[in-house]
Structure 1
Amino acid sequence: MKESIVFLSGSLSGKELPKIVSEWVDRYILNKCNFVLGDAKGIDSLFQDYLLLQKYNRVKIFGVKNIARNKADEDWDYFKVNVPFQFRKTDRMLFLFRDFYLSKQADGGIVVWEPERKVRGRQSVSKGSLFNMINLLSEEKNVVLYYIPNEEIRILRSLDELFSLYIRGNQVLEKAWNELIRMRKQIIAYETESNDDIHEEKDKSKEIRLF
């Protein structure tokens, strides 16, 4: 029987892992699921810290650098996703490409999302988390969403549900939505044309912590 894979992700702005989210993680731990997640600060690191606290080892960390930016347990495997040249124009594109790959691997995901926040006086959108939900739901994989502004948790089962509940009517988020849908189509077109699986490299060396 195939072991279930859960993609954990969330906004960079996250300061703590909500208790109800950690309870969902505990459910997956009891079912001996595998976790895949990125190496960013914020929610990625908080998920890592929690899994380390639980002494859980079915964990794989993914990034785009030779060495993980954050990896709570040096015994966890780290994999570098080799990103094609056309998706290396910005850091955002790099990590969106990586997250597309993680969504393809996973059977479902948990996302902790703060859609908008102000950074240096400018409005910033958490596109990475939104992209992860778009990718998972596009492939009929459920998402357990913790929506930070309302402190609510909900299981999403379709793109329409995500759009109608959290995107429609917000011009900033609708613009981000359309941009991410285009990005997803570009990656899928690349995959179709190249007929290659996205390549990953396992880092077998000792980890150097970069914080």
Structure 2
Amino acid sequence: MKKVFISGSINIKNLHKAVIDELDSFIKRNCFIIIGDAYGIDQLVQKYLLSKKYYNVLICTIYEYPRIIESNEFDYEKIKYDLEEKSEKKKQSYKDKHMTEISDISLVIWDGKSTGSYRNIIDAIERNKEVKVFLDNKFMKLIDINVKAITNIFYERHEYSLTEYLSEVVKKDKNCTIKSTKQMKEILKDRGVLTGNGVIDNKFIDSVTIDFIRGNRVYKYKKKLLDNYFSSYVNKNSIENLSLF
């Protein structure tokens, strides 16, 4: 019986028909399905399996009880992690690594920019698992699923707020001369990326997404854009390796 770890980006709201067909194939083959306990893909897949009355399922969590478990018929397992670890993302990464390790097949439903999904793909490739990646409304060709190609996609699409980018750069380069997001905004204004009022210039609108958090506008910038404008302030290796692992 094949064990299938299914993961994906939290901001995906619906299962594509091609993904549903793949899930039906797993069900037909009586595969053992391993899923996490987050919103997004985890919950969507759980709900679909429940709708098919398919219970050969394991939900993995770092908590005493899963945050999301759509059926009491699903089994669940608490995954151990380093108790001294404070970062929620790093705690969750122990769970993801465990699910990859115990699976035969890794199916990742990706938006091309989610860090967690990116790491799951790379981890599965490096462990020589069978890897299926659903991206841009289709499954990637097997020949295109390799570390270099996946990393290039991530590099082109991944986005950061200025706070996130500064935090990651400083972690990797203690000699970074950028000390605040205010300084970063001034640099972007000088380069014409932002207007004097701090609004993104229309020429760069395709390089950002805009969120509104508690009524405030927050820009998420493509990594490639930020690397281009801040590379002279940090060590080159720091931005090349930024947030990949």
TM-score when normalising by structure 2: 0.62
Structure 2 matches for 1:83-122, cutoff 5 A? 83-86=81-84, 88-116=85-113
* Closer/same/farther in 2, CA of residues 49 and 169 from structure 1, 3 Å limit: closer
Match 2:18 to one of 13, 17, 20? 20
Answer whether contact 2:106 2:132 (CA < 8 A) is retained. yes
Q: 2:139 aligns with which of 150, 153, 157?
A: 153
Q: Which residue of 2 aligns with 1:172?
A: 223
Task: Please state how far the C-alpha of 1:66 moved relative to its aligned partner.
Answer: 0.6
Consecutive unaligned residues in structure 1, runs of 5 or more: 117-125, 182-211
Residue of structure 2 aligned with 1:33, choices 12, 31, 34: 31
- CA drift of 1:115 comes to 3.1
Instruction: Name the counterpart of 2:48.
Output: 50
Letter in 1 for 2:47: D
SS at match of 1:67: coil
Distance between the aligned counterparts of 1:4 and 1:177, measured in 2?
A: 34
**Closer, same or farther: CA 50–34 of 1 in aligned 2, 3 Å:** same
The separation in 1 between residues aligned to 2:240 and 2:95, in whole angstroms, is 18
- Displacement of 1:178 in angstroms is 5.1
- Residue in structure 1 matched with residue 130 of structure 2 by the alignment: 142
Distance 2:139 2:58 in 1: 25
2:180 corresponds in structure 1 to none
Q: Deviation at 1:6?
A: 0.5
Deviation at 1:158, TM superposition (A): 2.8
Q: Which amino acid is the alignment partner of residue 154 of structure 1? A: M
Structure 1 CA distance for aligned equivalents of residues 54 and 27 of structure 2 = 8
Alignment deviations for residues 98-136 of structure 1 (CA, whole Å, 9 cap, x no partner):
1011000111111111134xxxxxxxxx21111110110
| Aligned-residue offset at 1:168 | 5.1
Q: Number of residue pairs matched?
A: 166
Q: Deviations over 1:71-124 (max 9, x none)?
A: 0111111111121124x22110111111011000111111111134xxxxxxxx
- Distance, in Å, in 2 between the alignment partners of 1:84 and 1:145 is 29
Which 5+ residue runs of structure 2 have no aligned equivalent?
158-221, 228-238
Q: Secondary structure at the match of 2:243?
A: helix
CA contact (8 A) 1:143 1:155 kept: no
Q: TM-score, normalization: structure 1? A: 0.71
Shift of 1:169: 5.0
Alpha carbons 1:138, 1:158 under 8 Å: kept: no
2:151 equivalent in structure 1: 163
Q: Which has the higher contact order (CA 8 A, sep 6+)?
A: 1
Post-superposition shift, 1:14?
1.0
Amino acid at match of 1:63: T
Q: Which structure has the larger Rg over C-alpha atoms? A: 2
2:26 aligned counterpart, secondary structure: helix
